[in-house]
Amino acid sequence: MQRRKVKRKMREKLNSLEEEIRQSLEQANDPAALEELRIKYLGRKGEINKLFKEVAQLPPEEKKAYGEVINRLKNDIADDLNARMEKFKDNSKGDVELLLPGRIPPVGHLHPLTKVFDQIITFFKSYGFTVETGPEIEYDWYNFGALNMSKDHPARDMFSSFFIKDDLLLRSHTSPVQIRTMEKQKPPVKIICPGRCYRYDAFDASHSPVFHQVEALYVDKNVSFGELKWILNEFVKYVFGEKTKYQIRPSFFPFTEPSGELAVSCMVCGGAGCSVCGSSGWLEVLGCGMVHPNVLKNVKISPKKYSGYALGMGVERVAMIKYVIDDIRVFFNNDIRFLEQF
């Protein structure tokens, strides 16, 4: 009699538990709910494992039959749970809202010096100049001698060069590229020489021991100072804007004669005078002039037959004027707050 009661109670409990589990699975509407059901019914301390402990109360001949029933229920529930979990995974792939705006990752941009570099090069290339480059470690002859600066020339002091040996140094301007080009190419020569230069200067608001230059050279028959003035006029309009005023004033360079400096109206005060321009209303941009006859002779080009003009500018200087920056060091400090403005 007692055995019948235990068997009946076990059967009722199995049926009730199975019904309960089926209903719970139907009501589960997300993966988290399914995981809770798995722990509740199939976990180590779950309801199914409790049934296995109760089987011990049954007669030996019935333990196997009930054990198989419980195992079958356990496997069926596990299969059902897995199937429902996979269904949720498949549905989640289709829940992507394609009309929502995508996440835009942060994108870098060109450094302001690179932008000015590219702008200068683009301008000169549009007027038929080709780009030439040369070594940054240079011989004294190319850096000074061929440019009409002998060993005792006082103009050498302006360059504060880094010498490696008596006749070898880090180039202090890109003019050596002009000499190397004219040695291997006879006129017409129409080139620009962009690149990095080095001078033994203090790293302060207006100087850097490492800086960048772009120089231009045009040598051919009957090249005049008027052509130089014309290209400078076009350059100022292109880089600084149509309304920018400029002036070319006399200066001195050993490698050009006559020589001049190009200055543009101050971007801060518009030419009225302020602390940035030293109350003059003008900001110096570059040096220029007609190629000195001695320079042409040094590369075996006849100054009686050919003439030419040359000009050179510091890229940092142009960028500082263009973007109204009063400290050259900000170009090298890698301060994101500064760079993000460009």
Q: What integer pLDDT is reported at residue 236 of this predicted model?
A: 95
Residues 6+ away with beta carbon under 8 Å from 267: 240, 276, 283, 321, 322, 324
Position 1 scores a pLDDT of: 47
Q: Across the strands, what pairs with 289? A: 259, 310
Query: Which tokens hold the place of 295?
Result: 């320079």
Element (H, E) at 263: strand 256-265
Report the CATH architecture of 112-339. 2-Layer Sandwich (3.30)
Residue where the block lists tokens 């543009």: 264
3-state secondary structure of 217: strand
The predicted structure's pLDDT at residue 153:
85
Low-confidence ranges of the chain (pLDDT < 70): 1-10, 56-58, 61-63, 89-98, 275-276
What integer pLDDT is reported at residue 97 of this predicted model? 65
Which distant-in-sequence residues (6+ apart) come within 8 Å of 107 by Cβ? none
Look at residues 188, 178, 196, 199 and name the one whose alpha carbon lies nearest to residue 310: 178
Tens-place pLDDT, residues 188-247: 999 999 999 999 988 888 889 999 999 999 999 999 999 999 999 999 999 999 888 999
Q: Domain map of the chain by residue range?
A: 2-93, 112-339
